[in-house]
Amino acid sequence: MKFVLSSKIFKATVTQANVNYEGSITIDTDLCDKAGFWIGEKVLVVSNTSGSRLETYVIPGKSGSGIICMNGAAAHLIREKEEVIIMGFKLSDKPIKPRIVFVDKSNKVVRIK
């Protein structure tokens, strides 16, 4: 069994960073649904802007809002307006084809691969 990429939101823009929150990443529930992320799922967040990488978990954001908010300590590493890739992984005994959600600068879905 190996951990393999199962889903990804590609080149999203961080809309908020809130250090005074207990932790996690808030993601628009529409984006979560399209990417296949579950609420509470562990995700890897990588900043294309700063190079920071961190693991956290998903909490739901307002549907249709485009929100991507770094919360708690993560907000010190990845800040508002940074470009990020958000990835989820599954444990599998065979290769799987990941779902990749491409978004625009407002975090609206452009296409799904």
Look up 50 and say whether it is catalytic.
no
Which residue in the list 21, 52, 57, 65 is annotated as catalytic? 57
- Bridge-based pairing of strands 16-18 and 68-71 is parallel
Look up 24 and say whether it is catalytic.
yes
Cβ neighbourhood burial of 18 (10 Å; 0-12, 13-18, 19+): middle
Cβ neighbourhood burial of 99 (10 Å; 0-12, 13-18, 19+): middle
CB 27 within 8 A of CB 13: no
Which residue in the list 6, 24, 47, 106 is annotated as catalytic? 24
Residues with catalytic function: 24, 57
